[in-house]
Amino acid sequence: MNTKTTVLGQTYQFRDLKEIFAKANEDKSGDQLAGIAASDSRERVAAKQVLADLTLADIRNNPMLPPEEDEVSRVIEEGINEKIYNEIKNWSVAELREYILSHEAGDNEIKRISRGLSSEMIAATAKLMSNLDLITAAAKIRVVTHCNTAIGQQGVLASRVQPNHPSDSVQGIKASLYEGLSYGIGDAVIGINPVIDTADSVKDILNMTKEVMDKWAIPTQNCVLAHVTTQMRAIRQGAPADLIFQSLAGSEKGNNAFGIDVKLLDEADELMRKEGTSYGPNFWYFETGQGSELSSEAHFGIDQVTMEARCYGLARKYNPFIVNTVVGFIGPEYLYDSRQVIRAGLEDHYMGKMHGLPMGCDVCYTNHMKVDQNDMDNLGILLSAAGVNFVIGVAMADDVMLNYQSTSFHDIAAFREVLGLRPAPAFEKWLEKMGIMENGKLTPIAGDPTIFM
């Protein structure tokens, strides 16, 4: 494996694959914090040059986190289709990138080849792509999944309605939910982040959302984003859960910090098969985000883009209904400004789709970042153009419980209108029945939650 190159008369010798991958990244404050980022643009170019010439076999044969030391690595390794891998193992990373972006590689071809790729191989291609490359490649890939309803179809931009409340007031959640529904938001999921992580609180919220769904015959699915063990207790006590949720990390140690491991995820998967209330077959909801492994000191010197890709390698084991990166939620320690947040959102969406995942994004930022709402508008439009499966809507783009900024209900309506996108088919029919939408356009009563009162 060649780890040396010369750029403008200066020779660069990289120690190993970890260093090549990290220094080939676009600038990220998280990599700087970890002490693994390129020192300047010239070193970054040198790392990209070396990375481009590596073969896929080089990457697989030199694991950054060996399978015998990490269960996420084992899941990724066991998921590789050996026949497809053997067809392409001698390709360079540059050749794989060129193939993905070529006219000969469409949806089916990319989905097939992705089965022979490890998460690290997918991350490598992202490091060699421009923002437009990431959009172009991801836009080719459609991932349709089915829980109670199906999302991910061509021309569809689905949405999670996120009616969080600072004290888990069921009536407060319901009021925000009705407003979101009145804007046509909620076809991906009615998903609430609870303040109180108890089975009783989760049951109360799940029961309320299911009652609303049944009363108004809403074709969607519900979920309360408590810890997976809390949801499991609630489900065993009879709570009506269509989806089960968990945040993921890209290493076993990172997942341990979240209080999970593969054995627990397998147990939750089996529970949902037996006691989940959705039609299926897809009933998992995962969230990820660059930097989480660094925050728990569980990155092992691996850069945050590669660790994020490894989250998707774990997620695809469970054939989820939806996955999303909470792109700017952690803060400027990992993504410093709007340029880094936009880049990360496009990277994550591309890498998720390359794993065959139904990829969404929480287009968001914390208030101490060098980002504003215009930047979120930009990223929302870019992801919508890239074929993102769903985005997240909160009232006035301001989550009063999680204390961060996201996209609003009316922002998502605007994304759809500007790009000619529609809600999920079953949900759109419901919106038409309610008089909220007609011929793909919101009607004058849209945005008025009193229609549910």
Is residue 194 part of an annotated ligand binding site?
Answer: yes
The 3-state secondary structure of 385-431, one letter per residue: HCCCCEEEEEHHHEECCCCEECEEHHHHHHHHHHHCCECCHHHHHHH
Q: Give the pLDDT of residue 264.
A: 98
Is residue 162 part of an annotated ligand binding site?
Answer: yes
Q: Give the pLDDT of residue 329.
A: 85
Q: Give the pLDDT of residue 387.
A: 98
Is residue 32 part of an annotated ligand binding site?
Answer: no
* Sign of the CA dihedral with 224 first, then 226, 232, and 233 last: negative
pLDDT-flagged residues of the chain (< 70): none
Q: Is the omega angle on the peptide bond into residue 281 within 30 degrees of 0, that is, cis?
A: yes
Region of residue 361 (left: phi > 0; alpha: psi -120 to 50; beta: else): beta
User: 142, 149, 124: which is closest to 347 by C-alpha?
Assistant: 124
Q: Which amino acid is at 142?
A: R
Cα separation, 410 vs 407, whole angstroms: 8
Is residue 77 part of an annotated ligand binding site?
Answer: no
Residue with token string 């990431």: 134
Q: Give the pLDDT of residue 450.
A: 96
Give the three-class secondary structure for 94: helix
Cα separation, 310 vs 80, whole angstroms: 13
The H or E element spanning position 223 is strand 222-224
Is residue 310 part of an annotated ligand binding site?
Answer: no
Domains recognised in the chain with CATH numbers: 2-138 (1.10.220.70), 143-450 (3.20.20.70)
Residues 6+ apart with CB under 8 A from 404: 328, 329, 364, 365, 366, 367
Summarised one tens digit per residue, pLDDT across range 68-123 is 999 999 999 999 999 999 999 999 999 999 999 999 999 999 999 999 999 999 99
pTM over 0.95: yes
Cα separation, 76 vs 67, whole angstroms: 9
Alpha-carbon separation of residue 227 from 80, 120, 243, 293 (angstroms): 29, 28, 13, 18
Summarised one tens digit per residue, pLDDT across range 386-414 is 999 999 999 999 998 888 999 999 999 99
Is residue 401 part of an annotated ligand binding site?
Answer: yes
Q: Give the pLDDT of residue 403.
A: 86
Would you list the DSSP string of 333-353?
TTS-BHHHHHHHHHHHHHHHH
Are the C-beta atoms of 290 and 25 separated by less than 8 Å? no
User: Do strands 398-399 and 189-192 pair parallel, antiparallel, or not at all (unpaired)?
Assistant: unpaired
Cα separation, 268 vs 264, whole angstroms: 6
Longest Cα–Cα distance of the chain, Å, equals 72
Is residue 161 part of an annotated ligand binding site?
Answer: yes
Alpha-carbon separation of residue 176 from 103, 181, 188, 190, 297 (angstroms): 44, 9, 16, 11, 37
- Direct distance between the N- and C-terminal alpha carbons of the chain, in angstroms, rounded to an integer: 66
Give the three-class secondary structure for 190: strand
Is residue 219 part of an annotated ligand binding site?
Answer: no
Is residue 405 part of an annotated ligand binding site?
Answer: no
What token pair was written down for 220?
Answer: 């969607």
Is residue 408 part of an annotated ligand binding site?
Answer: no
User: 384, 393, 427, 389: which is closest to 411 by C-alpha?
Assistant: 393
Residue with token string 């009652």: 211
Angle formed at CA 392 by CA 386 and CA 396, multiple of 5 degrees: 120
